[in-house]
């Protein structure tokens, strides 16, 4: 070993697991193929091998890694690492302390530590770790005695601890090519700290084609790393009220042109009026909730709305969002009444840890519950009191935390991607007198997100910052358009002579959604832009 540390590319970190090899697949052949596929770092993990066997495997694996110029680390066993000249070790929380490992190993040794909490990360930094393995991101059969799942949203809390340090981070636990992009995107901390790579066992090792499996993962990591900065603190200079109105206006005909299929898993109270609102805007609703149909549906749809006003099939909601993420379709989440019961709270956490929302839309009480804030309380599905003291700060912080666009509805609506906040002051008070007007905002937002992503895919526009949301197109603008469509239509509906109260208001609202034009939207839109 030399005295300078090897340069390590953490992008795709293969952790070995011989027990998972497909029948008839040779371990060395699998390792060779995964390196050909783009693995950038290897850890030899042998939990049951005798010392002699472990050493033999490590030596032969090292030869293969050297051929590809990929560093090799040893799990836990400092003696093996020393004996065969590994580039470093990976140690767990209950293994040898870093300081002791460091004192035994040459100065050039790379030392990584498994971390399951922000405290673990803080300690690892203090102890001089080179990198941390954070997780488990999802559940996995690969590791015995797995720690509690931290989830994608928990990873960001750990990454924050690395701000201002040189310590690198990889996520581990249940990572596959189907969820890798969500893992990378969703784990970025509120301070903009992103993962350096992904650590994977079964998705590569258990594959009969490890080269292909590694290629898929390496492609995703590269795409993410070469994308726009995970969180620029700079506001997007394009966002002026005039520019946004222009974009919103262009989306009105885009909905009618594409007529996207908008898949809605929604509650029994509002299903009918949501479907009619979708049709009036020029899109097609499809209501389906069985998990078994989500894969097929995800390819056909333009966007997905998950509204859990009446949670009947949580598995369907989990599957729908997962498949929408895989197929890069926008997912709008409307956590109706999430503050009302613990079941709703744990369900919302399960959903947001399983898939990446593109937009989360709620009233003050709902979004306070999502943010685990006690500033606003809710009663049933309604929020109580005045709302947030500083709604602009609240929505932008939540957008950064959840890594998506946040829509806070109320007398004024606040929409943010974390860098910019748009305040919309449209809407008539009759909206408060009918049931499900909030749910119709969700429908409208999902419809516009679907149209915006189809439009962006078609026009092959240069990547905008919001592509990082796993969806093409500007989802901040789409969310504003969705809110404006419903609120502006409500003003036209309320002004009609034949509207006498909430009973006649609802059909008039549907009519006015159908009669919206770009000109009417632009003329009526009352928006202000706050760049943070």
Select from Mg ion, ligand 3NM, none the partner in contact with residue 245, using the beta carbon and a kind-dependent cut-off of 5 to 8 Å.
none
d(CA 450, CA 444): 10
d(CA 217, CA 497): 60
| Tokens (6 digits) for 475 | 């989802």
d(CA 131, CA 110): 8
Q: By CB under 6 A, which span of 24-32, 200-208, 266-274, 475-483 interacts with ligand 3NM?
A: 200-208
Angle (CA) 267 270 271, round 5°? 70
Under the binding rule (CB under 6 A), the answer on residue 468 touching ligand 3NM is: no
Under the binding rule (CB under 6 A), the answer on residue 15 touching ligand 3NM is: yes
CB atoms within 10 A of CB 214: 25
> Bridge-partner residues for 74, per DSSP?
44, 89
Classify the phi-psi angles of 145: left when phi > 0, otherwise alpha if psi is within -120 to 50, otherwise beta: left
Q: By CB under 6 A, which span of 195-203, 210-218, 430-438, 499-507 interacts with ligand 3NM?
A: 195-203
Under the binding rule (CB under 6 A), the answer on residue 337 touching ligand 3NM is: no
How many residues belong to the site for Mg ion (CB under 5 A)? 3
Active site residue 439: yes
Residues 47-86 that bind Mg ion (CB under 5 A): 76
Q: Which of 65, 115, 183, 439 is catalytic?
A: 439
Select from ligand 3NM, Mg ion, none the partner in contact with residue 95, using the beta carbon and a kind-dependent cut-off of 5 to 8 Å.
Mg ion
d(CA 335, CA 12): 35
d(CA 122, CA 107): 22
Q: Least distance to Mg ion from the beta carbon of 54, Å? A: 13
Beta carbons within 8 Å of 358's beta carbon, 6+ residues apart: 330, 331, 332, 404, 405, 449, 469, 470, 471, 475
How many residues belong to the site for ligand 3NM (CB under 6 A)? 17
Q: Which is nearer to Mg ion, 113 or 181 (CB)?
A: 113
CB 41 within 8 A of CB 13: yes
Under the binding rule (CB under 6 A), the answer on residue 142 touching ligand 3NM is: yes
Would you state the torsion angle of the CA atoms of residues 527, 470, 303, 396, taken in this order, to the nearest 10 degrees? -30
> Bridge-partner residues for 388, per DSSP?
none
> Bridge-partner residues for 110, per DSSP?
88
Q: Which is nearer to ligand 3NM, 202 or 274 (CB)?
A: 202
| Tokens (6 digits) for 103 | 């004192």
Q: Is 326 helix (H, G, I), strand (E, B) or coil?
A: helix
Distances (CA, A) of 158 to 5, 112, 154, 175, 229: 25, 15, 7, 17, 19
CB 529 within 8 A of CB 396: no
Residue 235: phi and psi, rounded to 5, are: -70, 155
Q: By CB under 5 A, which span of 29-37, 90-98, 275-283, 487-495 interacts with Mg ion?
A: 90-98
- Which string of x and - marks every residue 241-280 that binds ligand 3NM (by CB under 6 A)? ----------------------------------------
Q: By CB under 6 A, which span of 128-136, 317-325, 332-340, 361-369 interacts with ligand 3NM?
A: 128-136
Beta carbons within 8 Å of 26's beta carbon, 6+ residues apart: none
Q: By CB under 6 A, which span of 135-143, 390-398, 416-424, 484-492 interacts with ligand 3NM?
A: 135-143
Please select the residue that binds ligand 3NM; options are 71, 135, 156, 335, rule is CB under 6 A: 135
Under the binding rule (CB under 6 A), the answer on residue 172 touching ligand 3NM is: yes
Under the binding rule (CB under 6 A), the answer on residue 200 touching ligand 3NM is: yes
Please select the residue that binds ligand 3NM; options are 170, 201, 398, 479, rule is CB under 6 A: 201
Q: Which is nearer to ligand 3NM, 117 or 313 (CB)?
A: 117
Q: Least distance to Mg ion from the beta carbon of 90, Å? A: 8
Q: Which is nearer to ligand 3NM, 133 or 186 (CB)?
A: 133
Under the binding rule (CB under 5 A), the answer on residue 92 touching Mg ion is: yes
Q: Least distance to Mg ion from the beta carbon of 371, Å? A: 35
| Sign of the CA dihedral running 481, 487, 491, 496 | positive
Please select the residue that binds ligand 3NM; options are 40, 179, 190, 202, rule is CB under 6 A: 202
Q: Which is nearer to ligand 3NM, 143 or 466 (CB)?
A: 143
Q: Which residues are catalytic?
A: 439
Which residues make up the interface to ligand 3NM (CB under 6 A)?
15, 114, 133, 135-136, 140, 142-143, 147, 172-175, 200-203
């Amino acid at each position: 070993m030399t005295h300078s540390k090897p340069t390590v590319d953490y992008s795709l970190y293969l952790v070995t697991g011989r027990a998972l090899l497909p029948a008839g697949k040779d371990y060395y052949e699998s390792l060779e193929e995964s390196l050909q596929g783009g693995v950038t770092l290897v850890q030899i993990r042998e939990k049951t091998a005798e010392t002699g066997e472990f050493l033999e495997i490590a030596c032969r694996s090292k030869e293969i890694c050297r051929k590809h110029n990929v560093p090799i680390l040893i799990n836990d066993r400092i003696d093996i690492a020393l004996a065969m000249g590994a580039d470093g070790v990976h140690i767990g929380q209950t293994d040898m302390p870093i300081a002791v490992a460091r004192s035994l190993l040459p100065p050039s040794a790379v030392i990584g530590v498994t971390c399951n909490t922000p405290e673990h990360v803080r300690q690892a930094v203090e102890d001089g770790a080179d990198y941390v393995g954070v997780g488990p991101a999802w559940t996995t059969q690969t590791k015995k005695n797995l720690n509690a799942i931290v989830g994608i949203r928990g990873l960001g809390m750990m990454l924050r601890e690395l701000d201002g340090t040189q310590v690198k981070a990889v996520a581990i636990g249940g990572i596959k090519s189907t969820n890798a992009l969500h893992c990378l995107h969703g784990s970025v901390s509120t301070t903009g700290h992103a993962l350096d790579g992904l650590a994977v066992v079964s998705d590569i090792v258990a594959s009969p084609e490890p080269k292909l499996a590694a290629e898929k993962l390496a492609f995703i990591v590269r795409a993410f790393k070469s994308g726009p900065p995970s969180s620029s603190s700079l506001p997007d200079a394009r966002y002026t009220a005039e520019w946004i109105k222009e974009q919103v206006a262009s989306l009105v005909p885009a909905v009618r042109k594409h007529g996207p299929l908008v898949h809605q898993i929604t509650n029994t109270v509002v299903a009918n009026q949501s479907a009619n609102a979708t049709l009036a805007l020029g899109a097609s609703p499809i209501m389906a909730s069985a998990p078994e149909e989500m894969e097929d549906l995800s390819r056909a749809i333009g966007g997905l709305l998950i509204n859990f006003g009446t949670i009947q099939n949580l598995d369907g909601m989990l599957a729908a969002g997962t498949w929408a993420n895989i197929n890069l379709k926008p997912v709008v989440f409307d956590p109706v009444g999430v503050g009302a019961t613990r079941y709703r709270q744990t369900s919302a956490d399960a959903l947001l840890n399983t898939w990446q929302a593109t937009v989360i839309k709620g009233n003050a009480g709902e979004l306070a519950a999502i943010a685990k804030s006690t500033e606003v309380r809710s009663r049933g599905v309604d929020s109580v009191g005045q709302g947030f003291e500083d709604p602009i700060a609240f929505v932008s912080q939540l957008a950064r935390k959840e890594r998506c666009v946040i829509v806070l509805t109320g007398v004024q609506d606040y929409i943010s991607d974390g860098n910019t906040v748009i305040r919309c002051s449209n809407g008539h008070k009759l909206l408060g007198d009918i049931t499900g007007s909030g749910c119709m905002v969700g429908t409208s937002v999902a419809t516009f997100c679907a149209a915006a992503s189809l439009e962006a895919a078609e026009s092959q526009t240069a990547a905008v910052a919001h592509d990082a949301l796993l969806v093409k197109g500007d989802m901040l603008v789409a969310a504003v358009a969705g809110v404006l469509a419903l609120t502006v239509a409500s003003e036209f509906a309320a002004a009609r002579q034949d509207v006498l109260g909430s009973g006649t208001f609802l059909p008039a609202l549907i009519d006015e959604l159908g009669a919206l034009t770009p000109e009417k939207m632009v003329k009526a839109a009352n928006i202000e832009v706050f760049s943070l």
